[in-house]
Amino acid sequence: MACDWTPLRAALARYRADGLDLPFWWRDDDAVAATPALDRLAALGARTGMPIHLAIIPAHAQDTLVQAIDPDRLVPVVHGWAHHDHSAGDDKKNEFMTQRPDAARDAARAMERMRHLFGVQLRPMFVPPWNRVSADVIRGLPAQGYTALSTFGPRKAPDAAPGLAQINTHIDPIWWKGTRDLVEPDQLITQTCAHLDARRAGVEDHTEPFGILTHHLVHTDAIWNFTAAFVQEMQDGGATPWTTETTT
C-alpha cells in the first residue's frame, strides 16, 4: 500500500526519545460465527504477532465461533447483548445509553452467556455497541463480573468506575459516514501522530493502551492492507502488544 509512513515513524521516534512505553492493542467488533473473514483476521493477527480482542455479540454467538477461537490469537470479550438499537428521539444509535429498565439485566446475561460459551478463555471486558453506554449501566458492571470497559477515544480517567478499568480504542480505519471503505490513510496517520504527541504533552493519558478498532466482517481489501501495515509500523516503532487479564 502506498502510504507515507514518515510522520508516524517520526512521532514514534519522539515517543521513544521521551522514554515512554506504548502498550498497543487491537479490538475487532461484531463477531458471531466462524467465517472466512474471521480466518483472515486470525491469520493477520498471527502474522503480525498481535492478539486480537474479539468483541462477540452474546445473543447471536454460534457454536462455530466457539470452536474457532484460538485464545493465543483471538481473545473473546463481551460486545453488549444483542447489538440492538434502543435509541429514542434524537439519540444516537445505542444499546446501553438510552434509559430502559432492562439494560442492566442485558449486561448481566451477556456475561453469563459468554462465560458459558468460553469459560476461562473469556476476558471480562464490556464493549457497548456503538461505543455508547450510560453511567447507570457502567456503575453496575463490576458487580456483574466485568473488570474493564472499552469504548472509543482517549479515556478521561484510568477507571470508568471503582473496579472497572477504562481501556479504549483510538483509531478506526473505516469511513462509516462516507463510503464505508478505508479512511484516507494520510488522515489516519495524522490522527495517530496527534494522539502520540498529546500523550507526550500530558494532554492524553500515556499509560492507556493505544487501540486500533476494526470490524472484520465489513473490511475491503484496502482496509485489510492498511490495518496490516499500520499494526506492523506501530510495532516496528516500539509499540508492544497488550492484552486484558483473564476472568476468574
Give residue 5's Cα distance to chain centre.
Answer: 23
28 close to 52: Cβ distance less than 8 angstroms? yes
What pLDDT score does 248 carry? 41
Query: Which three cell numbers mark 30?
Result: 461484531
Cα separation, 54 vs 146, in Å, equals 16
What pLDDT score does 109 carry? 98
Query: Which three cell numbers mark 218?
Result: 465489513
Cα separation, 47 vs 118, in Å, equals 24
7 close to 189: Cβ distance less than 8 angstroms? yes
Mean pLDDT computed over 87-100: 91
- Give 138-163 pLDDT, tens digit per residue: 999 999 999 999 999 999 999 999 99
64 close to 57: Cβ distance less than 8 angstroms? no
Cell numbers 473505516 correspond to 174
211 close to 170: Cβ distance less than 8 angstroms? yes
pTM: 0.96
Percentage of the chain beyond pLDDT 90 is 94
What domains, with CATH codes, occur in the chain? 24-179+209-237 (3.20.20.370)
Closest CA to 129 of 81, 60, 177: 81
- Give 43-73 pLDDT, tens digit per residue: 999 999 999 999 999 999 999 999 999 888 9
